[in-house]
Amino acid sequence: MTRGVVVVEATLNSGSLITARLAGEQGRDVFAVPGSPLDPRAKGTNGLLRQGAILTESAEDVLAHLGPQLFAPAPRMPPERPPAAPLPPENTDALQAEILRRLGPAPVEIDELIRLTGASPAEVSAALLDLEFAGGINPASWV
């Protein structure tokens, strides 16, 4: 049914790693998206890469690998630019601006945002919700 499995995020004991192992046992390609070595949710994908999974940063990587098996090779697209930092909404207050400054490519725990900003849990939660509704952040940016 499938030619391969892409694992984007996996802790060391996740079901994603079971799926990847079963795919490998069935002769399917295993693709893995690398993550920060400091993020526990990337330990599984980084381990898959050490075991020989195919490094995957975009859909183009999967297509480049599977393309010859599926169809005539498509022209290579230029590499994607790294995502720009989210633009703050028009009426972002100081706490929201500070939260945006603290968010990066790896998710940040809400307790860490509370500690770094010095704001109360209620204030940080409200600011995150306002930013999310305004489209200024992705909910996956914080946990």
User: In the prediction, which pLDDT does 50 show?
Assistant: 92
**Predicted confidence (pLDDT) per residue in 24-57, tens digit:** 888 889 999 998 888 888 899 999 999 999 999 9
Q: Are 124 and 117 in contact (CB under 8 A)?
A: yes
Q: What gap in Å lies between CA 46 and CA 2, rounded to an integer? A: 22
User: In the prediction, which pLDDT does 62 show?
Assistant: 85
Checking if the pLDDT of 72 tops 70, the result is: no
Amino acid code (one letter) for 9 = E
User: In the prediction, which pLDDT does 2 show?
Assistant: 76
Q: Could you give the domains of the chain?
A: 4-70 (3.40.50), 94-141 (1.10.10.10)
**Predicted confidence (pLDDT) per residue in 90-101, tens digit:** 555 888 888 888
Q: Which residues pair with residue 31 across a beta bridge?
A: 6, 54
Q: Which residues pair with residue 4 across a beta bridge?
A: 29
User: In the prediction, which pLDDT does 45 show?
Assistant: 92
- Residue 143's pLDDT band, with cuts at 50, 70 and 90, is low
